[in-house]
A and B are shown apart, each in its own frame.
Chain A
């Protein structure tokens, strides 16, 4: 389970995040939505240790990891994908996942071989056909699925997904939703940042809405959809009033 408490980040005089707290429990998909520039990716960077917060703390399974390095957080069970792709472009698709599995196995040394695990995960996200291709030549949608498979290879307890659905068509996006729900059903805590509101509303049990670095509201999909503040943030005050 991931818990973020009162996170604050400033870029010069601008508050990128201010007093943001959220909880992402195991066994469900939690949504994090908001307009562009709301601070969603910054929050992911804070949670994974790529960036340091000016205030607040991050807890993973009730352990304070605010001061841990990115690597330590990964080893503690935190995995993520990126909005701007970070696949290992010179390696093959299989090697991308295999490497992640090897890094994880290096820590725990049990279970299936990294190659077997890589092949299973590639099958799960539907990338078996391109397993031997160089990852750098994959189209964006497939590369996002590869990042997901790679993140899964370190057997995370908490999974942060930054717009995994962009670049996918409607049917693929639907399948991705099913996959994420199945991951949550297996006990993983999934935090999903996604612009595809339909996908978010369909699979998330709880949703947080971020706007200008602050939490605008939180609740079930139905509650969030009914919130006037959220409608204003997405559609503009005038459209909502009319």
Chain B
């Protein structure tokens, strides 16, 4: 009984932190309609700011806390709203997600640049050493502070939203933005207030969490991601349910830690928040088909069969020349880049055409690499590297196909995050501490031959992707991305189309992952991490996930980034900074760089004056008039 009580109290404390995080997320989502993936990163930045004020500048805890939570974090939120969110308007989900994920990476990059990750940063708990015993359970003063703060925040948020004039305006804007504007509320100001408030709550959660863990930009950011599950339970809009969700999640996690001690079960302990998120998503009722569209983009043109064949042939010739002429020292990087390009290519049909955002594409790449490693380098290994991820993709997609948009993206995030902890970090999968050895497929040990094989695989898949776009399935996918309601009312079997493309995309990513593994010789858990997955998605969207050339350039640039890093000293991490900035620029050029250039260079044709509709068979007015009379 004592254990149960102790676990419950610990669970409630953690749950309060989740509730705080999630409530901030809900406030920003409801006021702007944009799910802020960078919410965790704002909390992380607040934690570092708090460390800077207390440990580095010597400020006492309370003023530092107030300054961080009431001034710095809300200011960050308001600035983000002004510079980014307001510009997004009616942008598609793929763009809004990418911009906020880009912001997440940018903030991590900034934090790593200012606060050297190699130096440990520690934040002291509030009232360190003070303890209280409640019903035989020892509680630290810091834990009590967490519970008291969460309770106070829950009550004041409710009171603010229901009793204050500003709070009522905020709810009005959530209900109907245009109507609220007509009655005198300013949706823009309310949106900014929502972001400031949300960021303040993220900051509060970040500071309270900081003393519980070692202060690391990535860890802190991802810890806050756990709170997303609570927000989903509150359907991203309901604050009381979100608080309940946070507490439930905390309790589930604590009880699991206490009671699930069997080896297998204990391995899933770290992924409980993500399982919680996945289940909450799958079971949550979905809104009916949304009958409203995002602003149309000028889509990049689709090359015809002849042009595709010509481009593929030219690419293979260049690849053959490069395979012969490139110095051996560069061959590894080039092969690696082309394998990454293949993984990015798998995003084109899924995200670019179908508008289904997958945040865990590298997970499928990882499964492909593991499949090749386990089956062997022969043709059957290569086949397994495609078939196994495709099958897993199908399994993940089956329960989630009901989901749309953001919910689907979050489900893939939960899957990727869970696989990070339960599969790629699992000793039974990654048998060797140095990583799992992956053979080169088809015994191609010669680096030049292997480079050409990877280029060939990319060329074949790229040809296939473009052929797919020109086919009925391609048209179905694009239509599905543009208007699910339109598709349904034409009789399209939407789920079947979605499942097919999800499995195909996972298979292609698996092949890319296997080829990547073959090039490296071994793969480890760090190769397929969630943050890297997000970075790849961002790069693809920034450069143009609707075009094959866009993802090819994105992959090659990612490969070139370390070279750039060598030439820029004093910058913590070039890739997150560049990718983050690029994603933010996406707010303006939503087709991606290549997509925008392609669309801009298309012959601009004004829509001509249209002739009148032709009637068939012609009906003469007088006949009808007499019929009516």
**Residues of chain A having any CB pair with chain B under 8 Å:** 45, 48-51, 69-72, 74-75, 79-80, 82, 84-91, 95-96, 98-100, 102-104, 106-107, 123-130, 133-139, 142, 145, 150-151, 153-154, 171-172, 175-176, 178-179, 181-182, 185, 221
Contacts and interface: CB of A to CB of B under 8 A. Distances in A.
Contacts of B289: 50, 70
Query: For chain B, what secondary structure do more than half of its interface residues adopt (helix, strand, loop), or is it mixed?
Result: loop
A181 B481 CA distance: 34
Contacts of B296: 89-90, 134-137
Given A88-B479, A136-B296, 8 more contacts: A51-B288, A69-B488, A88-B482, A103-B492, A124-B614, A126-B613, A126-B614, A135-B296
- A74, A89, A124, A130: residue with the most chain B Cβ atoms closer than 10 Å: A89
A89 B486 CA distance: 11
Contacts of A138: 607
Nearest to B470: A95
Interface of B: 288-289, 291-293, 296-299, 472, 475-476, 478-479, 481-483, 485-486, 488-494, 605, 607-608, 610-619, 624, 628
A70 B488 contact: yes
Q: Which 9 A-B pairs rank lowest in CB-CB distance, beginning with the nearest?
A: A136-B296, A74-B491, A89-B296, A86-B486, A126-B613, A70-B488, A90-B299, A88-B479, A178-B615
Contacts of A98: 475
Which of B491, B611, B624 has the most chain A CB atoms closer than 10 A to its own CB?
Answer: B491
Contacts of A85: 293
Contacts of A89: 293, 296-297, 299, 482-483
Most B CB atoms within 10 A — which of A80, A95, A102, A178?
A178
Contact of A107 (B475, B491, B612): B491
B607 to A, nearest CB: 6
B485 A178 contact: no
Contact of B478 (A72, A88, A178): A88
B291 A82 contact: yes
A89 B488 CA distance: 16
Nearest to A52: B288
B607 A182 contact: no
B545 to A, nearest CB: 13
Contacts of B489: 48, 50, 70, 74, 79-80, 86, 151
A85 B489 CA distance: 13
Contacts of B291: 45, 50, 82, 84, 86
A100 B490 contact: yes
B365 to A, nearest CB: 27
Contacts of A181: 615, 619, 624
A45 B479 CA distance: 20
Contacts of A82: 291, 485-486
Given A125-B613, A126-B610, A91 B479 contact: yes
Nearest to B608: A129
Contacts of B628: 221
Nearest to A135: B296
B475 A172 contact: no
Given A103-B492, A142-B610, A182 B486 contact: no
24 contacts: A45-B291, A51-B288, A70-B485, A86-B293, A86-B486, A87-B482, A89-B482, A90-B299, A91-B479, A99-B490, A103-B491, A126-B614, A130-B608, A136-B297, A136-B482, A137-B296, A137-B607, A172-B612, A176-B613, A178-B613, A178-B615, A178-B619, A182-B618, A185-B619
